[in-house]
Every structure is written in structure tokens, then in C-alpha cells.
């Protein structure tokens, strides 16, 4: 049975256009982790939302990567330049770009050396992305050596400083000055999830005149101040490098989920009393009210139902559309 509040909030007429978006943050735009994993589902949602509600969902970009030597941060679900849907990378990039959505490749390996810069699979994907010449396309980078290589090859391709990079360089006590130094080299930077609750830092960023170059992550499942986050990122990077055998020839060396491996210990299990980095809606509203407008939703290592649920919770009007959207 509907609550009195939900009955009061539900409109007599199905809303359309921007009225289907969450009214508490109507101008928020989103960077979502679905690329190369949930593409068919995303295209279906985009088309059905336009057909039913005449609304272009405010997805600014999608991010992800195949298992290539430069990838990192999360284990990728795909190791070949196509997936079960039959999409090729070229078609996917163009499909998103034609809909006004940028593609961001997560080249977030922390252990790259000069020898890895010639990886044919990674360069193949980089060339495809850059040659689209779509302003919203970008790469997320964790190593300066890779950043310099990409900048030399494609100086106009946007680069974002990865959370992986930030964790590796500054696991604790990141300052406003540190983030400013990142913007001296990168076009934009993600905010470390632990810093979403640091209002002093967020206020400095809001007053810097560069707030549009920062992107907070809203639904990070890891615990706050996790002591082994860096170890996990490095282990995923090592697994990716060790699993490489040539052009899109990859063996998934997944030691991080081996219970006998020291880096497999997750603080969500060992410290269950510690909250995750996922923000409450009140915490998110506080960040939004400071002036942040682009936000990251992770999901490239989750199933589509979990990704859709998170998208519904954060993006859509909660009392009528989100329920219909998720069930439908």
C-alpha cells in the first residue's frame, strides 16, 4: 500500500521531460560505469525513456575498458574487442557519441613502465577513441608515464586523473593543493571517495573557480579510509599485466579473489561496523549545493540490475518515475 506521502507526491499525469529527474538535483549530470559491459541495456533505456517521457537522460559519459595492459581499477568483464551483443568498439564509441554521450577509457593501471606503452591492444583502443574527435571522449589515467605518452600522441584528448592514481600517490590526507597540482597536468580529476565528507576541502574546491573539473564518486562500496585500497589496485594492475599474451590475448589472472592471497582481505568483511563510502542523499545534496554538477556512478563490475537500481535511486524522480523505471 502506498504511503500518504507517496500518494501526495505522485502526479495525476505522467511527468515528461526534465520532470522525470530527481528534483533535489535537477542539473546533475552523470558519468556511469557501463562501457563494454551493459551497452545494449543502456541504449534500450535511452530509447525507451525518450519514447515514453520525451527526456534525454543526463548521462554525460560512460566509462570502462577491455582487459588490456593499460586497464586497471576494477577487473574488466571483457577481454576481446567485442562482446556477446556483437558490438565492436568502433560502433559503441560512435553509438554513444551520436547520442551526445562521451566515452572514457579507464587506462588506470598503476604499474606501467616504458615497455608497456607499445601494447598493441591498448593503442588500438586509444586510436579508435581519439579518431572520433568527439569533445566528450576521454581517458582516465593512473600513471604519469602513460599520460605523457597519450598527450604526445593525442594532445587534444581529454585526460582525467584516476581515483587509482590519487590512492597510489596520496593514500591519506589529500589537500586542496594536491588536487590543484593534478589539474596542472590533467584536464579533470575524480575526487577520492574518502574526501566526499571533507566539507572544508569541498568548500575550497567550490571557491576555486575550477569546480567543473572535479567529479565525485557517489556509490563507492569500499569502506571509508580502507587501509588496503592501494594494495588492491596494485594487485589488479599486476594481474592485468601478468595475464597479457599479445593482441587481445588475455588470461584472467584473478589472484585478488583467491582467499589464500594476502590482498584478498576486504575490509567490508573484516570491519563490517565501518560504513562504506556510498553517500546518503542528504550528504549528496550538501555536495550538490556547493556547486558540483558532474558525478560518477560505478557499476562496471556489477550486474545490470544493480547498475539500474543505482541509476534509478540517484538520477530519477523518486516517488513515481524511479519505481516505474526500475520495475519496467
What is the maximal distance between C-alpha atoms in the chain?
63
Give 273 or 208, the one with higher predicted confidence. 208
pLDDT at residue 255, rounded to an integer: 46
Give 325 or 236, the one with higher predicted confidence. 236
What mean pLDDT comes out for the span 10-19?
75
Whole-number average pLDDT of the chain:
84
What mean pLDDT comes out for the span 134-160?
97
pLDDT at residue 8, rounded to an integer: 40
Give 257 or 159, the one with higher predicted confidence. 159
Out of 32-46, 73-87, 168-182, least confident range: 73-87
Distance of CA 54 to the CA centre of its chain: 26
What mean pLDDT comes out for the span 13-19?
84
Query: Among the ranges 60-69, 187-196, 228-237, which has the highest mean pLDDT value?
Result: 187-196
Question: Is the Cβ–Cβ distance between 72 and 237 less than 8 Å?
Answer: yes
Check whether 83 has a pLDDT greater than 80.
no
Give the strands of the sheet with 188-190, arranged side by side: 214-215, 188-190, 158-161, 138-141, 102-107, 59-64, 29-32, 294-297
Out of 44-58, 123-137, 251-265, least confident range: 251-265
Out of 147-156, 191-200, 295-304, least confident range: 295-304
Out of 55-69, 74-88, 161-175, 231-245, least confident range: 74-88
Check whether 4 has a pLDDT greater than 80.
no
4-327 under CATH 3.20.20, yes or no: yes
Cell numbers 525507451 correspond to: 48
Radius of gyration of the chain (CA): 20
Out of 99-103, 229-233, 284-288, least confident range: 229-233
Task: Give the three cell numbers for residue 276.
Answer: 562504506
Residue-wise pLDDT for 273-282, tens only, equals 677 778 999 9
Give 258 or 119, the one with higher predicted confidence. 119
> What gap in Å lies between CA 130 and CA 140, rounded to an integer?
13
Give 237 or 21, the one with higher predicted confidence. 21
Task: Give the three cell numbers for residue 1.
Answer: 500500500
What is the model's pTM? Answer: 0.87
283 φψ region: left (φ > 0), alpha (ψ -120 to 50), beta (else): alpha
Confidence of residue 5 (pLDDT cuts 50, 70, 90): very low
Give 271 or 92, the one with higher predicted confidence. 92
Confidence of residue 284 (pLDDT cuts 50, 70, 90): very high
pLDDT at residue 272, rounded to an integer: 66
Confidence of residue 86 (pLDDT cuts 50, 70, 90): low
What mean pLDDT comes out for the span 229-245?
76
Q: Return the number of other C-beta atoms located less than 10 Å from residue 120's C-beta.
A: 12
pLDDT at residue 244, rounded to an integer: 63
Amino acid at each position: 500500500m502506498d504511503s500518504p506521502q507517496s500518494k501526495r507526491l505522485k502526479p495525476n499525469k505522467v511527468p515528461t521531460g526534465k520532470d522525470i529527474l530527481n528534483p533535489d538535483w535537477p542539473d546533475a549530470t552523470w558519468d556511469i560505469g557501463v562501457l563494454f559491459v551493459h551497452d545494449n541495456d543502456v541504449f534500450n533505456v535511452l530509447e525507451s525513456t525518450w519514447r515514453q517521457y520525451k527526456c534525454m537522460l543526463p548521462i554525460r559519459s560512460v566509462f570502462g575498458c577491455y582487459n588490456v595492459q593499460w586497464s586497471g581499477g576494477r577487473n574488466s568483464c571483457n577481454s576481446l574487442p567485442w562482446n556477446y551483443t556483437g558490438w565492436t568498439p568502433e560502433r559503441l564509441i560512435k553509438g554513444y557519441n551520436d547520442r551526445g554521450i562521451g566515452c572514457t577509457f579507464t587506462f588506470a593501471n598503476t604499474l606501467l613502465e616504458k615497455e608497456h606503452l607499445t601494447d598493441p591492444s591498448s593503442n588500438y583502443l586509444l586510436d579508435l577513441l581519439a579518431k572520433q574527435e568527439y569533445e566528450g571522449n576521454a581517458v582516465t589515467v593512473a600513471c604519469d608515464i602513460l599520460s605523457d605518452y597519450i598527450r604526445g600522441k593525442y594532445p587534444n584528448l581529454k585526460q582525467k586523473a584516476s581515483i587509482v592514481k590519487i590512492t597510489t600517490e596520496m593514500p591519506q590526507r589529500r589537500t586542496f593543493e594536491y588536487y590543484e597540482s593534478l589539474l596542472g597536468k590533467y584536464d579533470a580529476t575524480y575526487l577520492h571517495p574518502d574526501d566526499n565528507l571533507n566539507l572544508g576541502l569541498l568548500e575550497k574546491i567550490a571557491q576555486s573557480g575550477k569546480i567543473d573539473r572535479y567529479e565525485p564518486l557517489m556509490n563507492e562500496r569500499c569502506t571509508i579510509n580502507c587501509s588496503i585500497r592501494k594494495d588492491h589496485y596494485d594487485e589488479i594492475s599486476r594481474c592485468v599485466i601478468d595475464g597479457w599474451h599479445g593482441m587481445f590475448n588475455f588470461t584472467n589472472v584473478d589472484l585478488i579473489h583467491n582467499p589464500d592471497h594476502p590482498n584478498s582481505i576486504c575490509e567490508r568483511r573484516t570491519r563490517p561496523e565501518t560504513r562504506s563510502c556510498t553517500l546518503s542523499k542528504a550528504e549528496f545534496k550538501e555536495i550538490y549545493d556547493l556547486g558540483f554538477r558532474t558525478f560518477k556512478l560505478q557499476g562496471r563490475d556489477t550486474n545490470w540490475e544493480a547498475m539500474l537500481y543505482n541509476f534509478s535511486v540517484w538520477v530519477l524522480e523518486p516517488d513515481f518515475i524511479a519505481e516505474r523505471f526500475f520495475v519496467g
